[in-house]
């Protein structure tokens, strides 16, 4: 698109929840009309209420609604939208969908279809990375799944190795192999799993790095060949390939390492002809050596931490770029201002192995105050359906330093009130209180290592009970003080020790906040 810029007047947001709301906010800031689409489970959803207009696109299951390209395209045509923002998940990394938009003369706010295809194939992405001079983990490109050759290669690079799916993501089709005897079997099962999940059984092999950090670089590129990076995000705190807490900058980052990783990300973006917002993922080992992992061709969940430390609005820049305009951001103007943390608030029960928790929000009060930003996809009385990702909101908090950001996040988590569903709020409070987290000493193994068996409670019941009594006495005494009014007359309000004890037990055993 070297042609004239095309001003976007109306955007259809092909998504739901907090990201749909997030994109609509940018639209409103820019005077752009927003169009929501919704499934039968979402007719009363917040993203529908936020939009200027809304179109039904099918039954509740996402493969009958949010994933049905033609339904979304139809809504875009009916509404007269000149662009589609795909958010994350759903159709966001679907090259066919991006192509369908193009065919209809609708701007797809994202990279070109061919770029999505190329980078969606992890083997192809790895090849591009090598061509662009990026460091990759020792591994093989061999894609014909020849077990003999693969085993020879694994033996050559040394065990443990990691088998990965070319079409992979989210850990599907991945196997760690500790020794040659287990190799062939793992190769088979990884390939089968990948075939089932993605319709593509191609796998490849890499040396398995122990306890790496996951650090990613945000990139932004326009149609005129300009590419910048917007610093890194540390995303090591995750469970089962679901990120839980993200931050920027990374606690391990130095200006020198940032420049090297940033330049690497820019190099692969240029090699791939990348346009719009994207993320280059890296693994970083104990020696602070980094290795290319993959490129995510979408706006990511954790983009707010980047926005907070750079002062940019990434969605606004995405729209600007999609209009065909030359990027306003210059690399030398991109700074790191303070520190930002993001906690993903999931409607899940941490005490039940993070099982999704559905229901109606009987109470919903958001945290406020200095440095606090909440991107919520729900409001009070919202129904949380079973059909979709259980992430209901993101709490992003800024501070001048990491310490201040952590303190403010703890304050905000305490202030957040949700009832009707179980959430991960209390779990975040526990993690943010961990000495290793506070030190910034983390890897992708953090949660598994420090909280084996998904156990985030105070382990010893006696200790928990003592803590509860302490907290209860403290609060009880403080409330008693307030119960005497300035004129010295006692105020009559029932204060029951039992209530304090019950509440204290919730906060001390699980950092919860009822
Ligand atoms: C790795 C790795 C160790 N060594 N590759 C997981 C998802 C996929 N995107 C790549 N992943 C990994 N690749 C080598 N050679 C460890 C992981 C990994 C991981 C990476 C990022 C974030 C969380 C993770 C959790 C477990 C394993």
Q: Which residue, 176, 261, 160, 180, is CA-closest to 217? A: 261
Q: What is the mean pLDDT of the chain?
A: 92
Bridge partners of residue 342, in order along the sequence: 246, 396
How much distance in Å is there from the Cα of 174 to the middle of ligand 1? 9
User: For ligand 1, atom 26, which residue shows the shortest CA distance?
Assistant: 444
Continuous segment of H or E residues that includes residue 192: helix 183-198
Nearest CA to ligand 1 atom 3: 209
The three-state secondary structure class of 296 is: strand
Mean pLDDT calculated for residue range 51-55? 98
Angle at 392 between CA 68 and CA 119, to 5 degrees: 50
User: What local confidence, expressed as pLDDT, does residue 427 receive?
Assistant: 94
Q: What is the CATH number of domain 110-137+209-335?
A: 3.30.470.20
The pLDDT of residue 145: 64
Task: Find the 97 Cα to ligand 1 centroid distance in Å.
Answer: 28
pLDDT at 320 over 90: yes
pLDDT in tens, 173-224: 899 999 999 999 999 999 999 999 999 999 999 999 999 999 999 999 999 9
| Reported confidence tier of residue 460, pLDDT bands at 50, 70, 90 | low
pLDDT digits (tens, 9 = 90+) for 387-431: 999 999 999 999 999 999 999 999 999 999 999 999 999 999 999
Residue with tokens 């009958």: 64
| Number of the ligand 1 atom closest to the C-alpha atom of 208 | 4
Q: Do 350 and 427 meet the contact criterion of CB atoms below 8 Å apart?
A: yes
pLDDT digits (tens, 9 = 90+) for 83-115: 999 999 999 999 999 999 999 999 999 999 999
Task: Specify the ligand 1 atom closest to the Cα of 207.
Answer: 15
pTM of the model: 0.91
* Residue ID of nearest Cα to ligand 1 atom 21: 214
Task: Give the strand pairing for 339-346 and 417-419.
Answer: unpaired
Domain 338-463 in the same topology as domain 110-137+209-335? yes
Task: Give the CA angle between residues 424, 445, 209 to the nearest 5°.
Answer: 150
- What is the second-level CATH architecture of the domain 138-207? 2-Layer Sandwich (3.30)
HSE of 159, CA atoms in CB hemisphere, 13 A: 13
Sheet with strand 290-296: strands edge to edge: 290-296, 276-284, 213-221, 227-239, 242-248, 339-346, 391-399, 372-376
The CA 150 to ligand 1 mean position distance, Å, reads 20
Catalytically active residues are 298
The neighbouring-strand residues paired with 359 are 384
Exposed e or buried b for every residue in 342-379, given b needs 16+ CB within 10 A?
Answer: bbbbbbbbbbeebebbeeebeebebbeeebbbbbbbbe
* SS3 assignment for 371-437: CEEEEECCCCCCEECCCCCCEEEEEEEEECCHHHHHHHHHHHHHHCEEECCCCCHHHHHHHHCCHHH
Fold of 10-109: Rossmann fold (3.40.50)
CATH number, domain 338-463? 3.30.470.20
Pocket of ligand 1 (CB under 6 A): 137, 162, 171, 206-209, 212, 214, 238, 241, 283, 293-294, 444
Give residue limits of the domains in the chain: 10-109, 110-137+209-335, 138-207, 338-463, 464-507
| Measured distance CA(428)–CA(354) in Å, rounded | 13
pLDDT of residue 144 exceeding 80: no
Minimal-distance CA residue to ligand 1 atom 27: 444
For residue 464, the 8-state DSSP code is H
Residue 514: is its pLDDT beyond 60? no
What is the per-residue pLDDT across 225-257, written as a single tens digit (0 to 9) for each?
999 999 999 999 999 999 999 999 999 999 999
Tell me how far the alpha carbon of residue 63 lies from the centroid of ligand 1, in angstroms. 28
């Amino acid at each position: 698109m070297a042609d004239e810029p095309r001003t976007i007047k109306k955007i259809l947001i092909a998504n739901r929840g907090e990201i749909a709301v997030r994109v609509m906010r940018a639209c409103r800031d820019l005077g752009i009309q927003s169009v929501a689409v919704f499934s039968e489970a979402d007719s009363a959803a917040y993203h529908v209420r936020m939009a200027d207009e809304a179109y039904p696109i099918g039954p509740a299951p996402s493969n009958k609604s949010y994933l049905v390209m033609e339904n979304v395209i139809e809504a875009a045509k009916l509404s007269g939208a000149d662009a589609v923002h795909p958010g994350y998940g759903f159709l966001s990394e679907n090259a066919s969908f991006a192509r369908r938009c193009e065919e209809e003369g609708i701007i797809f706010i994202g990279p070109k279809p061919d770029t999505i295809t190329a980078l969606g194939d992890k083997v192809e992405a790895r090849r591009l990375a090598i061509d662009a001079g990026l460091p990759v983990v020792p591994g093989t490109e061999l894609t014909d799944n020849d077990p003999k050759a693969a085993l020879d290669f694994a033996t050559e690079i040394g065990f443990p190795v990691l088998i990965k799916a070319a079409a992979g993501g989210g850990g599907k089709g991945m196997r760690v192999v500790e020794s040659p005897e287990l190799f062939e079997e793992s190769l088979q099962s990884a390939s089968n799993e990948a075939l089932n999940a993605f319709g593509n059984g191609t796998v490849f092999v890499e040396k398995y790095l122990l306890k790496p950090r996951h650090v990613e670089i945000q990139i932004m590129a326009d149609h005129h060949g300009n590419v910048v990076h917007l610093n890194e995000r540390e995303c090591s705190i995750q469970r089962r390939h679901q990120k839980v807490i993200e931050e920027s900058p990374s606690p391990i980052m130095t200006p020198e390492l940032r420049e090297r990783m940033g330049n690497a990300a820019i190099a692969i973006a240029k090699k791939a002809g990348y346009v719009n917002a994207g993320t280059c993922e890296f693994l970083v080992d104990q020696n602070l050596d980094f290795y290319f992992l993959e490129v995510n061709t979408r706006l990511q969940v954790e983009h707010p931490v980047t926005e907070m430390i750079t002062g940019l609005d990434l969605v606004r820049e995405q729209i600007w770029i999609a209009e065909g305009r030359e990027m306003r951001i210059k690399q030398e103007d991109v700074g790191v201002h303070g520190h930002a943390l993001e906690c993903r608030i999931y409607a899940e029960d941490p005490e039940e192995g993070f099982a999704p928790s559905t229901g109606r929000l009987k109470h919903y009060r958001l945290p406020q105050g200095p440095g606090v930003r909440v991107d919520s996809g729900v409001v009070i009385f919202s129904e949380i359906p079973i059909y979709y990702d259980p992430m209901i909101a993101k709490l992003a908090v800024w501070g001048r330093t990491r310490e201040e950001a952590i303190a403010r996040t703890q304050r905000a988590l305490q202030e957040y009130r949700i009832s009707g569903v179980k959430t991960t709020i209390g779990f975040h409070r526990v993690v943010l209180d961990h000495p290793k987290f506070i030190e910034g000493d983390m890897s992708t193994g953090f949660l598994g290592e420090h909280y084996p068996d998904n156990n985030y409670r105070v382990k010893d019941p006696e200790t928990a009970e003592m803590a509860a009594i302490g907290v209860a006495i403290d609060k009880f005494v403080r409330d008693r003080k307030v119960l005497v009014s300035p004129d010295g007359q006692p105020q009559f309000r029932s204060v029951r020790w039992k209530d304090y004890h019950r509440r204290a037990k919730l906060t001390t055993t699980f950092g919860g906040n009822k």
